[in-house]
Structure 1
Amino acid sequence: MNDPNGATEQITAAQLHGIIWQVWTAYLGAGPTITEAADQPPTDAEITASVCIAGAWLGHVVLRSGLAAAAAIATAMLDLEAGGVKPDDIQDATGELMNITAGNVKSLLPHPSHLALPQVVVGQAEILWPGTRLLTRAAVAWDDHTISIEILHGDTPPL
Structure 2
Amino acid sequence: MNVLTFFDPSSADLETPDPEDVRMLTEDVWLALLGEDEVLLPRLVPPGSPFDAAGVWSATVTVTGGWQGVVTVELDEDVARQLTGTMLDIPGTETVADGDVADAVGELVNMVGGNVKSLMPGPSTLSLPAVAAGRAAFPSDVTEACRLDLAWRGAPVRVSVHIPQ
State whether TM-score is above 0.5: yes
RMSD after superposition? 1.9
Q: Which stretches of structure 1, 4 residues or more, deviate above 3 A after TM superposition?
A: 34-38
Contact 2:52/2:156 (8 A) holds in 1: no
Q: Which runs of 5+ in 1 are unaligned?
A: 1-7
Contact 1:38/1:137 (8 A) holds in 2: no
Aligned to 2:151: 141
TM-score for both structures, normalised by structure 1: 0.83
Q: Which runs of 5+ in 2 are unaligned?
A: 1-13
Letter aligned with residue 127 of structure 2: A
Q: 2:78 aligns with which of 37, 59, 68?
A: 68
Q: Between Structure 1 and Structure 2, how many residues are aligned? A: 147
Measure the CA separation in 1 of the matches of 2:126 and 2:78. Answer: 27
1:1-159 alignment to 2 at 5 Å?
9-29=15-35, 30-35=38-43, 37-40=45-48, 41-44=50-53, 46-82=56-92, 83-123=94-134, 125=135, 127-155=137-165
Measure the CA separation in 2 of the matches of 1:144 and 1:76. Answer: 17
Letter aligned with residue 146 of structure 2: T
TM-score for both structures, normalised by structure 2: 0.81
Q: Give aligned-pair identity as a percent.
A: 29
Q: CA deviation at 1:126?
A: 6.1
Letter aligned with residue 40 of structure 2: P
Measure the CA separation in 1 of the matches of 2:118 and 2:44. Answer: 22
| Higher mean C-alpha displacement, 8-17 vs 83-92 | 8-17
Contact 2:58/2:136 (8 A) holds in 1: no
Measure the CA separation in 2 of the matches of 1:109 and 1:49. Answer: 20
